[in-house]
Amino acid sequence: MLHSYPTPRDIGLRVPAYLREARFNAGFEHALKGGHLTEVEFFRRSFRLGFRVAKLYLREVRRSRGMLDFPMRARFRLRALWRGA
């Protein structure tokens, strides 16, 4: 199944002049495809900001469609002391 992902320009975003547009667009696309920040190149400023903008865009799209974001499920350990009666 082929998907068509929007570019920042398609949704009306303008990339600031101090960022590298190609790297910003790569970060934006990476986030839309569900990627994680795992490689060194992903931590460059333009890529990170594109990634962040895409995550915010996805949150707004989901909200507009009525989908809720639930809080992260956290694990914790519960330790109880047993005192015999």
Question: What is the CB neighbour count within 10 angstroms for residue 73?
Answer: 5
pLDDT above 70 for 69 = no
Tell me if 25 is assigned to some domain.
Answer: yes
- The predicted pLDDT at position 62 comes to 86
Report how many domains make up the chain.
1
pLDDT band, very low/low/confident/very high, at 21 (cuts 50, 70, 90): very high
Strand, coil or helix: what is 11? coil
47, 41 Cβ separation under 8 angstroms: yes
- The predicted pLDDT at position 72 comes to 67
Tell me if 2 is assigned to some domain.
Answer: no
pLDDT above 60 for 1 = no
Whether pTM exceeds 0.75: no
Q: Which structural domain range is residue 48 located in?
A: 21-64
Among the residue ranges 5-9, 25-29, 42-46, 80-84, the one predicted with the least confidence is 80-84
Tell me if 28 is assigned to some domain.
Answer: yes
Tell me if 71 is assigned to some domain.
Answer: no
